[in-house]
Every structure is written in structure tokens, then in C-alpha cells.
Amino acid sequence: MNRAIVEGSALAVLALTVAVVWFRARHAARPESDGGYTTREEIEFEIGRLQSEVYRWLTTTNHRDIGLLYIAFGTIAGLWGGVDAMMLRTELLTPPADIWTPETYNALFTTHGLTMLIFFVLPVFFGVGNYVLPLLIGADDMAFPRVNAIGFWLLPPALLLARMGLLVQVGGQVLSLFLPDESIQFFLTIREVSIGWTLYAPLSVQQPNPQIDLLLLGLHLSGIATTVGAINFIVTVVYERGDDVTWANLDIFSWNMLVTSGIALFAFPLLGSALVMLLLDRNLATTFFATEGGGAILWQHLFWFWGHPEVYILFLPATGLMSTILPKFVGRKLFGYQFIVYSTLGLAVLSFGVWAHHMFTTSVDPRVKASFMAISIAIAVPSAIKVFNWITTMWDGDIQLSAPFILCAGSIGTFIVGGVTGVFLAVIPIDILYHGTYYVVGHFHLIVVGIIPFMMIAASYYWYPLITGRWYDTRLAKFQSVLLIFGSVVTFMTLLIIGGVGLPRRQAIYPPEYQLAQQIATVGAYVIGLSALLWLYNMLVSYWRGAVVQTTDPWKLKATNQFTKEWQWFEERMVEKYDLEPATPDSTRRSYAPELEPMGLLGGVGSVAENVYRNASAAAAGGFVGTVLMAGGLGTAIVVDVLDPVSFGEIAEPVGLPADPLFGAALFLVGGTVTWPLLFLAFQEYLPGRYLFETGTVFATLISTGFAIAFYTGQQGLVLLGYLGFVLVAHWAYGLGLAVTFQFLQSRRRKRRRAEE
């Protein structure tokens, strides 16, 4: 199939559909006042209005306008890169390269990667930052409004330069219908770059396609735009904060944008240098990356010194949005604000120390690789801190099942899987196995799709009332959110699996036994594509037809004291423009615990340390009593010969002890005294039972199934029945002992407290 014609047509149809949807929605929202036909004067007026609008948008320096321009640009680039993705997934429906040629397939995954990373994600986050960051910190505008405008307006030419291959190809094919080939050689020579988004030397130096040079110039221009934008964000956060905004209470999204900009400031100039060196190698015969006189590996070092921090440049704003949006929909303040800030700063520093984990299969010195392995594993820690804090923020919260929340919850899940699979890749021996397989593709897509666009869309829903003064279609939004999560999980989990069994990535042709898995992944990708279109439809149509926001507090944030600065700005605006009464909630409560005080698992208040000590000591006492009671039941089982003591020896082996029943029994006592009681404390709230002893019995029944499997030594018939009976009864004794001891300790503590009062 002809890629240029297909992709060009697809993009044209998409653009046309968007225009039709927009104007139809607008027309339906604003019928003629007299119900009649549009007159010539009205058309002239409309054209004049259009001219002034175009002039305004081209010359604006207002941070909110520029934010919207960034978002619109990023969305267009995202759709373009998305069409690439749909096309490359279509190729993979069949094992041979019989839909596109291998070279076209290579070009598709190259342009998909570059467009999504450089022209979609960063502009959208800079757009969100531009719109809300000054509102969040109480600034009038960005520090350098005109520089801000320049930073944006460098991007469209950069995108055109980078993606000119497609435009020129389409142009060439149209021109070849009318002109002889000799006269349009240029149009027939240029084609989309097909060397992978990482542009590895020596291929990137030697391939004659002139589009590579234009791409390098486009990337360089986008790098300048990013650096300019980053400087603006840094200066804005440092110097433009309102009087009441200090470093200690600066909101978490602004912190993330500040740190992201800091990373960009260090990373992007280096990318610029590397791109210039590559341009010189290609055009002026320098030998920076030549095998003789330079080194192809040098390109990888320079590229990834930008490329890995770039991953965090894309990821950190998404975490900032998560930390901002999630608390609003669970009615609780963000847990561990300081730790989130420190983890963001930690990620920024560490992100510059892990670049060579992309190069574990190269000839880099193994000792150097080992240090990169250590830092790559360590970088999981700050990411995990964020995840734990998000989960803790949700814990016991008052969940509001809206589209932004669905996306937040989905993001946490996909990010955990994406992150954990990354920890495996950080380990050199495993990376050597999985390098260049679909496992890597699955891993990074679970992050770059599984949290970044999720959070963009969550933010678009969350701030839609603020930006437009209207509501989006909430049902459609929830549906779209679920669809996006479903499509992502299906697609990228499938890629993880086929990569896990060794299918190489970046191959148009693959063995037939992988066809079903590839088809499942492709259908999942189409679902993602359709969900993106539903989001776009919702955004465009709701702008004209969404229900008008009738309150100054659309998300009822005042009720949990989370009515943040951007919404205060919104309220002021609504009061000024429409004379609305500021919303007053029926009731308010503090936003970190419904009970107003942090509760211990066994009741009682106090510091975290006090609660931990109290829980651990009660658990140990209860666990010991329970285990002793249980030992009676199990001992009887051994005596009547339905339980084999050898099985106790077997559990000692995995922890490195000799396979001796005595060691096993001691280990069993430790587990029963420490591990299971703490688990019981953690889960008792969620187990059935009105009283603690009922809950204890349920818990004991559940864990008895694990015991029955672990200690089974081939019993048959009646012996098996006896074994199961004794196991169950012994566990009930354990559960009752545990629960009754807890109750006893609690009542004693209550009595003591009363006596003190």
C-alpha cells in the first residue's frame, strides 16, 4: 500500500471531520436569531471576526492563550503520531510484510516515536503548565510573555521540518501525475526517515535520505523552543510567586514543572550539540561518529544523556498532575507532600545517571555498566515513593468515581506494571536477554501511554469547566477513560508477553506463531485510537453544547478544603462576569482523614511511631497466643499421623536453613507471631464479621487454605480428610486466640486511659 497517500488521506479526513464537528456543534448552539437565512452582511461580519481572531491568536502573549495553543499543537501532533501507530499496528496483523514494505514499516515506527515524544507530550505539558501554573502560584502571567510566545511559535516549523518527508512524498506523488520525473527529483528522493527514533550512527550518518538533515534541523529547533520554555517556567516559579506562596506550600504541579524545566535546561542543549555533530558528519565529512576517527558509541552516549532525562521530562509533569488531581477526587490531602517533592528532585538528579542502561549490550566497560545498573535500580525508589503516596492518599478516602479519578486509578496500575518491568530491565543479565525485544516496547509504553496521556486527559476533564465554563459529557468521559485503560492494558501487556518469549521489536516480518498475539495487540491499539477520537469529540462538542457551569465550585472542593488557587481565580472570574454567588458547601471537613485524627489499626490516636509500636506489640502478643493454641491442634494431627512433620523441614529450606523439622517449627512460630498478625491487622477492616472474633475466624479460614497446600505431603482418602479437618480447626484456634488477645489488650488500654483521665 502507498503509505504517503494513505496517511495523507487519513490525516485530511481527520482534519475535515474535526472541522465539520466543530462548526456543526457551533451552528447548532447558535441558531439565527430570527430563524431565517444568513445574510450577506452577517457573512462579511463573520469573515471580519475570523480575521481579527486569527490576528489575536498569532500575536497573543497571554499565558492562557499560549497554553491553549500549545495544547492544540500537541493534540494535532499526537493525532499525527497516532495515525503512524495505527498504520504500523495494521502492518503487524499479518506475519509477512505484505501491507507496507519493511522500509515503510521502519519509517512508521521512527516517525511515531519522534512525533509522540518531541511534538506531542512536551508541548501538551508546557501548555497545561502555561495555562494553570501562573494561576496556581498567584502570578499575573509568565515571567517573559513574549519569549513564551516565541517558544511556542518555534514548534510548528520544527514539526514541519521533522515530518516534511510525508508532505514531500504526497506532493511528489501528486506532481508526478502532471510533471516528468526528472523535473521533480527532489520530491521523489525525500522520504520519511526510517532509521529508528534513536538515530543511531553509523546508519544515521550514511543513509543518503536528505529528510534526515531536515529532521535534525527540526529537532534542533524544537530543542531551542523547549529550552526557552524551560527557562521561562523556572524564572516564573522562582520570581513570580504570590506573597502567600512559599517553597513550603508551593503546589505539587508547579514543583514538578520547575524540576522538569531544570532537567530540560541541562538535557536539551546537549541534544542540540549532538544533532549539530551528526549534521556535520553527514554534510561536512567530520568524523565524530565514524568508526575510524570517532566512534559510533559516542552518539549513543550523547543521545541517551539527553534521551533518558527526556523520559523524566515527559513523566514528571504527569506525576505532578496525578498528585494534584487525585486528592480532589478522594477527599483527602496528598499524603506525604514533602516526600513527593523530594522524590521529584531525586528523580531529576538520578535521571542523569542512568543513560547507559540503554547501552548494556554495547562494548561499554562492564564495571561502568555495573554502576549504571545500580543507579537504574535505585531510580525505582523515588518512583515507588510516589506510588505509595498516591495509594496512601486514596486509602480510606471518599472516592468520587469521575472520569479523572478513573484515569488516575488506571494510571497507578499501569505505571506499577510499567515500572516493575523496568526494574527487571535495569539488571544487566536480564537486559541482555530482553534488549531489542517487544518486552522493552511493552515496558516503556505502559509508562508513556499508561500514565502520560492518561494524566493529560484527566487534566483536560478536571480543568474543562475552568477553561471553558462548560461541562463535558460526563458519561462519555467515563466510558472513554475505561476504554483507554482497557486498550492500553490489552495492547501493552500482550507486547510484554510476546517480548518475554523473545520476539524482536522493529521487525515488519515475524514468525506466524505470533500472529494471534499481534492481532490482539493491534485490536487493543485500535481501541486506544477510538478512545482518543471519543475524547476529541467530547472536547470539541462540549465547548458549544456542554451544560453551562452554574457554580463557582464545580468539583465541590470547598467541602474538603481543597479549593486551590486556580479555582479561587475561577470563582473571582465567575463573580465578576456573571455575578454568581460564591458556592458554600453544606458541610466542610479537613481533607486528610474523615475522623479528623490518624487512627491506629487497633483504634487509638497518637503519632505514627506510637501506633506502629502499639500495633506491632499487640500483634506479637496475639500472634504468639494464637500460634501456641494452633500448635496444640497441629501437634495432635502429627500424633494421629495425618500431618507429616517432614513438611515443616521443607519450609526451612527456602530461607536458607537446614531442612530440619525443628528449624521449620521455629520459623513457623516466628511467622505466626510476626507476619500473619500484622496482615490480620491490615486487612481486618475489609473482612466480613461484625465482631473481631468473627473476623479472626474468617481470616484464619482464608489462610488455612494456603497452609493446607504448603504442608500437603500426598495424603489420600480419610487421612486427607483428617488432615484438612485438623488444619482448619488449628487455624480457627489461631484466629480466635489472635482476636481475643487483641480485644483483651484493647480493653486494658481503654481502662488505663480512663484511669489516667
Partner 1 sequence: MSESADDGSVLFTYVAPFLGVLLVAVGIGGAVPGGYAIAQEQIGGCGEPSIAVEGPEETSQRFATSQPQLARFQFAELSPAERAAFREGLADARGEAHVEGSFPNGPAFRNGSLVTYEGERHYVTVVSENPCFQAAPLQFPLGLFAIGLGVVGILTPPLYRKLVALERSVEA
Burial class (CB in 10 A: 0-12, 13-18, 19+), 709: exposed
Considering only 283-291, 359-367, 521-529, 744-752, which stretch makes contact with partner 1 by CB under 8 A? 521-529
Tell me how far apart the alpha carbons of residues 241 and 253 are, in angstroms, rounded to a whole number: 14
DSSP annotation string for 659-715: S-HHHHHHHHHHHHHHHHHHHHHHHGGGSS-SSHHHHHHHHHHHHHHHHHHHT----
Candidates 474, 636, 647, 743: give the one binding partner 1 (CB under 8 A). Answer: 474
Judged by CB under 8 A, the residue of 386, 478, 614, 731 near partner 1 is 478
The four Cα atoms 266, 270, 272, 276 give a dihedral, to 10 degrees, of: 160
Contact status, residue 557 vs residue 567, Cβ threshold 8 Å: yes
Q: Does 93 bind partner 1 (CB under 8 A)?
A: yes
The distance of closest approach from Cβ of residue 22 to partner 1 in the complex, given in angstroms and rounded to an integer, is 19
- Residue from 144, 266, 471, 569 touching partner 1 (CB under 8 A): that is 471
Residue 598 found at the interface with partner 1 (CB under 8 A): no
| For partner 1, the closer CB: 39 or 400 | 400
Q: Give the dihedral sign, CA 200/205/206/207.
A: positive
Q: Which of 60, 94, 392, 468 binds partner 1 (CB under 8 A)?
A: 94
Within 10 A of 679 (CB to CB), how many other CB atoms are there? 13
Integer Cα distance of 430 and 439 in angstroms: 11
Rounded-to-integer distance, Cα 489 and Cα 496, Å: 10
Binding of partner 1 by 526 (CB under 8 A):
yes
- The correct pick among 24, 53, 96, 432 for binding partner 1 (CB under 8 A) is 96
Q: Is residue 401 near partner 1 by the rule CB under 8 A? A: yes
Residue found under cell 506489640: 617
Tell whether residue 97 is a contact of partner 1 (CB under 8 A): yes
Q: Is 580 in the site for partner 1 (CB under 8 A)?
A: no
Q: Is 719 in the site for partner 1 (CB under 8 A)?
A: no
**Residue 569 contacts partner 1 per CB under 8 A:** no
Identity of the residue, 26 or 556, whose beta carbon is nearer to partner 1 in the bound complex:
556
CB of 115 to partner 1, least distance (A): 21
Shortest distance (Å) from residue 527 CB to partner 1: 5
Contact between 479 and partner 1 (CB under 8 A)?
A: yes
| Rounded Cα–Cα distance for residues 57 and 61 (Å) | 9
Q: Express the helix, strand and coil content of the chain in percent, nearest 5 each.
A: 75, 0, 25
Which residue from 378, 433, 483, 657 is in contact with partner 1, where contact means CB under 8 A?
483
In the complex with partner 1, which residue's Cβ is closer, 61 or 207? 207
If the CB atoms of residues 571 and 644 are measured against partner 1, the closer one turns out to be 571
Choose which of 523, 621, 678, 740 interacts with partner 1 (CB under 8 A): 523
Report residue 331: phi and psi, to 5°.
65, 20
The binder of partner 1 chosen from 27, 56, 475, 590 (CB under 8 A)? 475
Quick one: DSSP state of residue 357?
G
Please say which residue, 184 or 700, places its beta carbon nearer to partner 1. Answer: 184
Q: Contact, 577 vs 502, CB < 8 A?
A: no
Cα distance between residue 28 and residue 30, in whole Å: 6
Q: Is 162 in a helix, a strand, or coil?
A: helix
The C-alpha cell that represents 457 in the structure block: 486527559
* Least spacing, CB of residue 503 vs partner 1, in Å: 19
**Cβ proximity to partner 1, 547 vs 662, nearer residue:** 547
Question: CB of residue 186 vs partner 1: minimum separation in angstroms?
Answer: 8
Judged by DSSP in three states, 504 sits in strand
Residue closest to 83 by CA, chosen among 59, 107, 118: 107
Q: Quick one: 157 or 210, whose CB is closer to partner 1?
A: 210
Give the three cell numbers for residue 611.
501506633
Scanning 249-257, 364-372, 397-405, 606-614 for contacts with partner 1 by CB under 8 A, the matching segment is 397-405
Q: Which amino acid is at 535?
A: W
Among 9, 51, 361, 400, binds partner 1 (CB under 8 A): 400
Between residues 228 and 325, which has the closer beta carbon with respect to partner 1?
A: 325
Residue among 13, 6, 21 at smallest CA distance from 535: 21
Q: How far is the CB of 468 from partner 1 (least distance, A)?
A: 14
Selection from 280, 352, 358, 368 nearest residue 313 by Cα: 352
Complex with partner 1: residue 96 or 603, whichever CB lies closer:
96
Query: Is residue 103 a contact residue for partner 1 (CB under 8 A)?
Result: yes
Site for partner 1 in 540-559 (CB under 8 A): 547, 550, 554-556
Angle between helices 380-394 and 366-378 (to 10 degrees): 10
Does residue 165 interact with partner 1 by CB under 8 A? Answer: no
Residue closer to partner 1 by CB (options 274, 583) is 583
Binding mask 414-453 for partner 1 (x = CB under 8 A): ----------------------------------------
User: Is 326 among the residues that bind partner 1 (CB under 8 A)?
Assistant: no
Other Cβ atoms less than 10 A from the Cβ of 406: the count is 22
The interface region with partner 1, picked from 248-256, 394-402, 448-456, 726-734 by CB under 8 A, is 394-402
Q: How far is the CB of 584 from partner 1 (least distance, A)?
A: 16
- Contact between 524 and partner 1 per CB under 8 A: yes
CA–CA distances in Å: residue 518 to residues 86, 92, 148, 653: 13, 6, 43, 42
**Are the beta carbons of 269 and 221 closer than 8 angstroms?**
no
Per CB under 8 A, 599 contacts partner 1: no
Residue 141 near partner 1 by CB under 8 A:
no
Q: Where does residue 41 fall: left (phi above 0), alpha (psi -120 to 50 degrees), or beta otherwise?
A: alpha
Does 514 bind partner 1 (CB under 8 A)? Our answer is: no
User: Residue 98 interacts with partner 1 (CB under 8 A)?
Assistant: yes
Q: Which of residues 72-91 bind partner 1 (CB under 8 A)?
A: 90
CA–CA separation, 224 and 302 (whole Å): 17
**What is the closest distance, in whole angstroms, from the C-beta atom of residue 278 to partner 1 in the complex?**
20
CA distance 169 to 191: 6
Among 148, 204, 411, 522, binds partner 1 (CB under 8 A): 522
296-330 and 122-137 helices, crossing angle to 10°: 50
Q: Which residues does 747 contact at the CB level (< 8 Å), separation at least 6?
A: none
DSSP letter assigned to residue 548: B
Phi, psi (degrees; rounded to nearest 5) at 584: -125, 125
What is the spatial distance between Cα 640 and Cα 716, in angstroms, rounded to a whole number?
Answer: 15
Nearer to partner 1, 163 or 191 (CB): 191
Q: Under the criterion CB under 8 A, does residue 99 sit at the interface with partner 1? A: yes
What amino acid is encoded at 102 in this protein? P
- Choose one: 298-306, 312-320, 408-416, 479-487; the region binding partner 1 (CB under 8 A): 479-487
**x/- letters, 177..196, toward partner 1 (CB under 8 A):** ----x---x--xx-x-----
* Residues near partner 1 (CB under 8 A), total: 44
Q: Is 175 in the site for partner 1 (CB under 8 A)?
A: no
- Shorter beta-carbon distance to partner 1: residue 14 or 482: 482
Q: How far apart are CA 695 and CA 688, in angstroms?
A: 6
Considering the complex, what minimum distance in angstroms separates the CB of residue 512 from partner 1? Answer: 13
Q: Specify the residue for cell string 514468525.
A: 511
The footprint of partner 1 on residues 261-290 (CB under 8 A) is: none
- CA 481 to mean position of chain CA atoms: 14
Residue 608's Cβ-count burial label (10 Å; 0-12, 13-18, 19+) is exposed
Residue entry with cell 522493552: 440
Distance of closest approach, residue 537 Cβ to partner 1, in angstroms: 10
Which residue ranges make up the site for partner 1 (CB under 8 A)? 1-2, 90, 93-94, 96-99, 101-103, 181, 185, 188-189, 191, 400-403, 471, 474-479, 482-483, 486, 519, 522-524, 526-527, 530-531, 547, 550, 554-556
